[in-house]
Amino acid sequence: MILSGCGVYDGSEIHEATSILIALSMRGLSYQCFAPNIMQHHVVNHLTGEEMDEQRNVLVESARIARGDIKEIGDFSAETFDAVIFPGGFGVAKNLCDLAFEGAACEVHEDIRKVILWMVKEEKPIGALCISPAMIARVLPQADVTIGQDRSTIDVIEAMEGVHHNTDNCEVIVDEKYKLVTTPCYMLDATIAEVFQGALNIVDEIIQLWNEK
């Protein structure tokens, strides 16, 4: 799992990230967390929504979700892992790429871009929740993805020449050519139980893709 900090407004969405780990563990799969060793774009006070006069590191804050067991993204190898999953959160759009500021013209962090392309080359599945599919669409041309039904984000994906499919809570879109599976989670007005079910559906679709091989 690739993290982007710890907290929906400036890092990884905590419920989505935790739901992925629970789902993997329920299916008897082991996991390793990764994050880039870079400073966060900014720090947001999650009580008030205001920016704080602080600096925090993406890897160090992501370690909170990983209980300390996390590695730098540069140490990732697509030969070692059978799948990669991205939870959502504004950290994806602020730290892993600059989608939140540049929209369809955004640049994806070089190590993240490398991970995505390497997994495709190895023909191994990628899962992406919430806003992450928009970042993936920037790297993989004509990717079939979903972020739910948010019109402005769909416009951005289409401007990247991504192919967006509207979905409801817990639904998964499978792009067979890239082995890419996506689901909206908190990009819709979901309950946390629906977020968890979405994460479980992503893991089950990844298992399905392994079985089809």
Contact residues: its own copies, CB under 8 A = 6-9, 13-15, 18-19, 21-22, 25-26, 45-47, 49, 54, 59-61, 63-68, 70, 191-196
Rounded Cα–Cα distance for residues 149 and 33 (Å): 29
Q: Which is nearer to its own copies, 13 or 175 (CB)?
A: 13
As measured in angstroms, the least distance from the Cβ of 53 to its own copies is 12
For the chain, give the longest Cα–Cα distance: 50
54-58 long-range contacts (CB < 8 A, ≥24 apart) are 56/5, 56/10, 58/3, 58/4, 58/5, 58/11, 58/91, 58/95
Examine the residue annotation and report whether 170 is marked as an active-site residue of this protein: no
Catalytic residue among 33, 106, 130, 185: 130
Rounded Cα–Cα distance for residues 173 and 151 (Å): 17
Q: Which is nearer to its own copies, 17 or 112 (CB)?
A: 17
As measured in angstroms, the least distance from the Cβ of 197 to its own copies is 9
As measured in angstroms, the least distance from the Cβ of 69 to its own copies is 10
Residues identified as active-site: 130
